[in-house]
């Protein structure tokens, strides 16, 4: 491990960044350095500009990936190299407003029906039933399922915050069947080796393959099921503040995006066409 990499990891850890964020930021800076085949402390504003253009024009990366790179480079130059003047040379792009992909309840049921693998089905049902992030799902322990209090304890979610979510009675039945078949001891969903939790990459693959098996036109991911959890609650008239708490959002504005994808307001709004006086039968129009 190079000295710069070690220092960056330490600075991230001192600020209590999650292990996943540490891994992503270090990887982004490493790719930046590999692109120019130089140590990142020898690269300047023009290199950053060239690399940003490379990501947009040549690699055509998603804006989420681009923003991760921007955040990683800003952190590296500010906290590791202490070159504050570099920050103005690493601008953020304009925020891209995209609505999340949401499945109908029937489509969610089709996803569950598309797999006969009990462990895979239980993983997908747990994400949807509790609205979990993939990192929260992978780090669930057997002891986090509190059947007496009917809650799931989410340890150290995003922002290093603990929270509780409801334990669906239907999910509890599935979890009991799953436990009898697999007998997990520490991690609810162990990986390979069993003393380690299942990886996020494995969960992503399970989602993708199950979505394809369900013959859905929409691509699904673990976050899609989390979006479905929030949107379906909103359409069942659960108030936004309660959904915010269940999702573990710091800001209510983050939760409010589900107002744009919920069809509750759309379905309850009368079209102005329906308020017009009766018009001629369209079949007689010329």
Catalytic residue among 74, 139, 232, 249: 249
Query: Does 258 qualify as catalytic in the annotation?
Result: yes
Tell me which residue of 72, 192, 216 sits closest to 138, measured CA to CA. Answer: 192
Question: Does residue 182 have an active-site annotation?
Answer: no
Tell me the CA distances in angstroms from 98 to 5, 13, 32, 43, 121, one per residue in order. 34, 31, 27, 33, 28
Identify the active-site residue in 78, 200, 223, 257: 223
Out of 74, 121, 133, 232, pick the active-site residue. 133
Separation between Cα atoms, residue 172 and residue 255, nearest integer Å: 26
Q: Which of 215, 169, 194 is nearest to 119 (CA)?
A: 194
Q: Which of 158, 163, 200, 257 is catalytic?
A: 158
Rounded to 5 degrees, φ, ψ at 139 are -100, 15
Give the residue ranges of DSSP H helices in 83-117. Answer: 105-113
Asked about 133 being catalytic, the answer comes back as: yes
φ and ψ of 153, to 5 deg: -90, 120
Q: Give catalytic status of residue 119 as yes or no.
A: no
- CA pair distance 29, 130, nearest whole angstrom: 34
To 5 degrees, how large is the angle CA 239–CA 242–CA 243? 85
List 120, 139, 226, 232, catalytic entry: 226
Catalytic residue check, 158: yes
Exactly one of 25, 77, 178, 258 is catalytic; which is it? 258
Structure token pair of residue 173: 């039945």
Active site residue 5: no
Q: Any bridge partners for residue 145, and if so which?
A: 152
Query: Which active-site residues does the annotation give?
Result: 133, 158, 223, 226, 249, 258
């Amino acid at each position: 491990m190079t000295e710069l990499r070690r220092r960056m990891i330490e600075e991230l850890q001192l600020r209590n960044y999650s292990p996943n964020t540490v891994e992503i930021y270090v990887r982004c800076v490493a790719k930046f350095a590999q692109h120019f085949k130089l140590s990142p402390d020898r690269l300047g504003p023009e290199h950053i500009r060239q690399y940003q253009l490379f990501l947009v024009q040549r690699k055509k990366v998603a804006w989420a990936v681009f923003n991760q790179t921007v955040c990683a480079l800003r952190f590296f130059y500010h906290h590791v190299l202490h070159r504050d003047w570099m920050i103005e040379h690493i601008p953020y792009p304009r925020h891209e407003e995209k609505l999340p992909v949401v499945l109908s309840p029937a489509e969610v049921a089709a996803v569950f029906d598309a797999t006969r693998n009990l462990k895979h089905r239980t993983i997908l049902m747990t994400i949807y039933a509790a609205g979990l992030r993939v990192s929260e799902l992978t780090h669930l322990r057997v002891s986090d399922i509190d059947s007496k209090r009917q809650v799931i304890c989410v340890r150290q979610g995003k922002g290093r915050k603990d929270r509780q979510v409801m334990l669906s009675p239907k999910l509890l039945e599935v979890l009991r069947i799953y436990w009898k078949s697999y007998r997990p001891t520490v991690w609810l969903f162990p990986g390979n080796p069993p003393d380690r939790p299942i990886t996020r990459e494995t969960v992503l693959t399970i989602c993708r393959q199950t979505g394809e098996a369900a013959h859905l036109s929409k691509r699904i991911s673990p976050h899609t099921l989390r979006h479905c959890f929030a949107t379906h609650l909103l359409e069942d008239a659960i108030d936004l503040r309660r959904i915010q708490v269940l999702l573990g959002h710091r800001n209510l504005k983050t939760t409010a995006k589900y107002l744009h994808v919920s069809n509750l307001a759309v379905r309850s709004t009368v079209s102005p066409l329906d308020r017009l006086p009766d018009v001629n039968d369209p079949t007689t129009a010329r």
